[in-house]
A and B are shown apart, each in its own frame.
Chain A
Amino acid sequence: MAVTQETPATSGPRAKTPTTATGSTRRVRRRGEATMGAAMVAPAVLLLIFFFFIPVGLCFALAFTNARLISPEPAKIIGFENFTRLFSDPLFWKSLRNTFYFAVVVVPLQSGFALLLALLVNTKIRGVNFFRTLYFVPVVTSIVVVSILWKFMYQPDGLINNLLQTATFNVVQGTDWLNNPTAAMPAIMFMSIWQAVGFHMVIWLSGLQTIPGELYEASELDGAGKWQQFRYVTWPGLKATRTFILVTITIAALSLFAQINVMTQGGPLDRTSTVVFQAVRVGYGQQETAYASTISLVFFVLVLMVSLVQRYLTRERG
């Protein structure tokens, strides 16, 4: 994920040739080093070119053509036609809105809940590792399995509605979660948070553990309460972690696909269709690679904006 520029680009005075070598052997050795270095990096670079750089380039290029996934005729350049189609495509706008809806709700809830969990398990009490482990278990469970399981639980007479009724003494009656246009997306949000929150708990936790314990001791001596400690020690200490978590959750939320494909197929009434789901439906289902590339470009721009915002945030304060 997002990256610093301060990563050392050159590795400094490494690989010094032994001082005993004469000038010519040193030169030979250095040429050998150059060849060997290129050879060792070549497999990875070639694979990245073929399966990353070319497809990313194609995403831009194909958006201006009429390429189809399987077609006897070569693709033709058609200019901005795909873009005009995109902007007048109501399903695309709906999907974009649904994607934002998902992100706007999930990002704060999930990062906040994850922080709460991290604070709960950042203690030295006995058995705390047990809690950390269990909160993390949904993360290692495949999102496809999770989606199938929750689809079953969300049925009108399913486990969730039964639990709701029991817990509220029959006051709250559930709904047909995934077929109710207003309830479907929140149901998917709830499940997604349940599945992924442990991941971000662990990241918050690693951030919490970088805050020196002396700061807490000092603040305690100064008579700081729990909330003041959080406000003036913990929160400022989590600056870098915070940005990272916001960016990863936002990008993951914008990429929403598997849950939709397994649980609702975009329905009911297109209320759960998302940008990536549309791209797949068009590019794979209808084999319209060009139009799918156009949709992917929009997704790319969204992700880029998120990273730029992150850059801005870290630069301004750092």
Chain B
Amino acid sequence: MTTLDQAQAPSRAAPATGAARRPGLRRAGGNLVRILLVGFFAFPLVFMFMSSLKPDDQIFADLSSIKAFLPVGDISLANYTGVFDTVPAARFLINSIIITTLIVLVGLVVNSMAAFALSRMRWRGKTVVLAAIIATLVVPFETFALPLLWWVNKLPWFLFQGGQLYYTTGWLDTYRVQIFPFLANAFSIYLFYSYFQSIPTTLDEAARVDGAGWFRIYRSVVMPLAGPAIATVAILTFLPAWNSYLWPLMVVQTESLRPVMVGISYFQQLKVLWGQIMAYSTLITIPVLVMFLALQRQFIRSIASAGVKG
């Protein structure tokens, strides 16, 4: 978005200067606030995890004391095994893994290729395409989700079975309807585009002199240099894909096609087994959490770049 381009590499300056004057007291106060805030942000998640280990009656019994946040009493993994018997929880997980993986991987290829053509090559209509892609950035998904629902129900699909071509209408209740609308992403294209602009063209010119074609320059020269952009786009497409809710809620009826978030929201409405609900919540949060903790710096940088350039 607005003009922070020069801020691409934030100078990690500007430390707390005032604190240097009266280090002791002020720092202690600051740290106390920081630690209290850790409690504020962590307590619901700690509660979720601890409850997932307890039988339902104990969850309620522990609510009125500090025990709600401690792994005490009748601790077991019973809720974790139980949830797989109550709902097709494994199915939901597999569905989300398939959908998310495809959105991230295919999205990386489609969007980086488009960005490459936009940043590196000359072709007619480029200006219009770039402007159109950038214009899409302001429109949130919620504005066109319902017309899109109507539209995907009208889309055709071709099947080739037993030597014959079949034609069907309507994409509702499929995997593809959960994947296709999210492959091309204007923001990903924009992130790749700005990154490619910073890679010197002398490299591809050299490759062209050696006879490399455009696709080869994209694949073997530019993409290998685009690691940070790839990581950013992967992270920024992974999160909403894994957490997607509104769209699959509308387009999927069959239980066996549900992704995790829709799965758990129905589970929570139908059966009040809080221990199991907490167990499944923990289970679907952990993959994201682990990935976040492992790639923390990259995550934070991606989000920050979303802010700086968004």
Interface residue ranges, A against B (CB under 8 Å): 1-4, 6-11, 14-16, 18, 30, 32-38, 40-41, 43-45, 47-48, 50-56, 58-59, 62, 67, 69-70, 117, 120-125, 129, 131-146, 148-153, 157-159, 162, 166, 194, 198-199, 202-203, 205-217, 220, 225-226, 229, 240-241, 243-245, 247-248, 251, 255, 257-258, 261-262, 276, 279-280, 283-284, 289, 292-293, 296, 299-300, 303-304, 307, 314, 318
Contact = CB atoms under 8 A, between A and B. Distances in A.
Contacts of B33: 120
22 contacts: A33-B121, A34-B124, A40-B117, A41-B113, A47-B183, A47-B184, A51-B182, A62-B147, A117-B37, A123-B15, A131-B34, A141-B45, A144-B265, A145-B261, A205-B304, A206-B305, A211-B13, A243-B2, A279-B142, A280-B250, A284-B250, A296-B147
Contacts of A7: 130, 134
Contact of B11 (A2, A58, A121, A210): A210
Nearest to B10: A209
B179 to A, nearest CB: 10
A41 B47 contact: no
B208 interface: yes
Contacts of B191: none
Contacts of A166: 64
B299 interface: yes
Nearest to B127: A9
Interface in B217-233: 218
Contact of B214 (A16, A37, A280, A314): A37
A88 to B, nearest CB: 21
B195 interface: no
Given A1-B137, A40-B214, A210-B6, 14 more contacts: A14-B120, A36-B214, A40-B113, A43-B114, A44-B184, A48-B132, A51-B148, A122-B15, A135-B37, A145-B261, A157-B60, A203-B308, A229-B18, A245-B307
Nearest to A59: B147
B139 A213 contact: no
Contact residue range for chain B? 35 or more
B149 A283 contact: yes
Interface of B: 1-4, 6-7, 10-19, 27, 30-31, 33-34, 37-38, 40-42, 44-45, 47-48, 60, 63-64, 68, 110-111, 113-114, 116-127, 129-140, 142-151, 153, 155, 180-184, 186-187, 189, 197, 201, 204-205, 208-209, 213-215, 218, 239, 242-243, 245-246, 249-250, 261, 264-265, 268, 274, 277-278, 281, 284-285, 288-289, 292-293, 296, 299-300, 303-308, 310
A240 to B, nearest CB: 5
B146 A292 contact: yes
A145 B281 contact: yes
Nearest to A220: B17
Contacts of A122: 14-16
Contacts of A135: 37-38, 41
A44 B185 CA distance: 8
